[in-house]
Each structure stands twice: as C-alpha cells, then as structure tokens.
Amino acid sequence: MGFADQRFTVNLSILFTELPLLERPAAAAAAGFTAVELWWPWVDRPAPERADLDALHKAVEDAGVRLTGLNFYAGRLPGPDRGALSVPGEESERFRANIDVAADFAQALGCTALNALYGNRVDGVDPAEQDALALENLVLAARAADRIGAVLLIEALNKPESPLYPLVSAQAAVGIVDKVNQATGLANARFLMDLYHLSMNGEDLPSVIERYAAHTGHVQIADNPGRGAPGTGTLPLEDLLDRLGKAGYEGWVGLEYKPGDRPSPEAFDWLPVEARAAR
C-alpha cells in the first residue's frame, strides 16, 4: 500500500486560494484531482443569496469534480472563531440558520459528509451551558445530515493553534460523537481524524488509529511542523495511511495543507498524477 492506494480529495479552502473561489474546482481538476472539499465559503453569511450558491454549484459541476465534504458555518477560518455551534447568542443562531442551507447544497452535489466545528469556550459562560447548547445543535445537524444520506463529522483541533477550543484530543472528539449518536439514535455521527491536529497535540498516532479507525468517517492530512505538503515535515504520513487502511478505513483522505510560497499546483509533486484521480 501507499499514497497511490488512497482516495484523495483536495480542500479548496486552503489550497488554490490564490484563485477566486469559483475558479478553484477547475484548477483542482487541471491538477488531476476528481474530488474536492470545502470549509463553508461565505464566512459572514450562513445563508447566502441563491445566485451565489448556484454559481458555486455550477463551478463544481462544470469542473467535473465531486464534492466529498463540506463544513457547516463556523465563522472565519482560518482564524480565531473556530466554530459557532456552542457559542451562545448570534453565532449559534447563525449556525442554526446554516444547517438546512448547507445540507441542501451538499445534497445537490452528492456530498455525503458534513463537518461541524464545535466552537471555542467563551469567557463568562459556563462550559456546561456551552456543552448543552452544542449537543442540541449537533443533534439538529445530525438529523439534517441523515435527511440527505450524509454523515456528521466531529473534529478535534490542536491546542497550540486553537487554545480555546475544547476538543483537542481524539478521545474528546469521539466522546462527543458517542453523545450525539446516543441522543439521535441515528448512528451517523463520525470522527474526523485530522492527523496534523492530532500530531500537534502530541498524540500517539498509531495508537489513535488502532483505537478509533472504526469511529472515523473522514481523514485529513498535513505534515508537521509547518502544516505543509507530505514530505515537508517529519510525519510518516504514508505509513499512517497504511495503518488506517489495515485497520479497515476505506474513506476519503482530505489534503488540507498549506502550499507554502509556491503556486498550489506545485504543491502536489509528492503525489504522482496518476494517483490523484479517485478510483
């Protein structure tokens, strides 16, 4: 096994950002990829104008790529917000306003994975209150995902870059997955295993894979240090993906890394062109 045996999808919110949003799907296709994923593209609009949604839908379809994953509204990413669903007041309301909009957009493009970032802790708010709000909103998101035949992904981030984000371990994220599944009875909440974030938290990645591969609905990668392409840091990403495959994971692997100071098409030289198209 190896990189050539994986099903890769390119995150267009961190790669190809030198281009306007509507040009990125075609750029990914020109680089040889057939699958893409996105953070919620409208950072200040949980419910964009229909014309904006239609334009992005057309750009993805015209490029001939598949949308494999989409974030619910989560504020400004990358940035300090780090999610909205557990933040009382306007941000939580924005998340709720986005749930059906994001789910309907995902369904129209055949996307079957929706990622919900948990949200930062807020000064002066009881963490238990935030956790109760988060569970309430995640239940709504899980039901919307189920309506379109999708999974709901719950992700751990890393404490150095997101010090106010409470889910900074695989165990913490999987614990929320279990709570959501118990509350809904749908069993469609899954762990998003981001190997970069987990490595930044100092986790034993082979152990994480062994323990949680069966709970995992999506994987994302970037090398560490630097959050660059595989080979720019020290993570044994090819070996880790091999371990995931042997543990039974057969899903998508999202390329969620920074291209550095070079154009995005040059940031894929580690992966042969013939291995980029999903099989």
The catalytic position among 37, 91, 238, 256 is 256
**Residue 221 pLDDT:** 98
236, burial (CB in 10 Å: exposed 0-12, middle 13-18, buried 19+): middle
Tokens of 119: 């949200």
The sign of the CA dihedral 209, 15, 149, 180 is positive
Q: What is the CATH number of the domain that holds 14?
A: 3.20.20.150
Euclidean distance between CA atoms 232 and 102, whole angstroms:
34
**Residue 81 pLDDT:** 62
Q: 159 near 168, Cβ under 8 Å?
A: yes
**Residue 184 pLDDT:** 98
Residue 142 lies in a domain: yes
Residue 279 lies in a domain: no
Task: State the maximum Cα–Cα separation within the chain, in Å, rounded to a whole number.
Answer: 53
Residue 135 lies in a domain: yes
Q: 113 near 151, Cβ under 8 Å?
A: yes
The catalytic position among 37, 91, 155, 238 is 155
Cβ-proximal residues to 3 (8 Å cutoff; 6+ apart), any chain: 230, 238, 241, 270, 271, 275
61 carries an active-site annotation: no
**Residue 134 pLDDT:** 98
Q: 191 near 174, Cβ under 8 Å?
A: yes
The closest alpha carbon to 32, from 254, 238, 272, 231, belongs to 272
Residue 278 lies in a domain: no
Sole residue written with tokens 């189920």: 146
pTM of the predicted model, to two decimals?
Answer: 0.96
Fill in the DSSP letter of residue 103: H
Assign 114 to helix, strand or coil: strand
If you write DSSP's letter for every residue of 189-246 in order, what string do you get? EEEEEEHHHHHHTT--HHHHHHHHGGGEEEEEE--TTTS-STTSSS--HHHHHHHHHH
90 carries an active-site annotation: no
Strand partners, 9: 254
Per-10-residue mean pLDDT of the chain, 279 residues long, equals 86 98 98 98 96 98 98 81 88 97 98 97 96 98 98 97 95 98 98 98 98 98 98 98 96 97 96 91
> HSE-up of 175 (CA within 13 Å, CB side)?
11
Tokens of 61: 């379809």
> How far, CA to CA in Å, does 6 sit from each of 72, 132, 251?
25, 37, 8
Structural domain count of the chain = 1
Euclidean distance between CA atoms 163 and 253, whole angstroms:
26
Residue 277 lies in a domain: no
Name residue 179's amino acid: K
**Residue 279 pLDDT:** 75
**Residue 82 pLDDT:** 73
Q: 164 near 127, Cβ under 8 Å?
A: no
Q: What share of the chain is helix, strand, coil (3-state, %, to 5)?
A: 40, 15, 45
Question: Domain containing 79: what range?
Answer: 3-272
**Residue 8 pLDDT:** 97
Residue 27 lies in a domain: yes
Residue 205 lies in a domain: yes
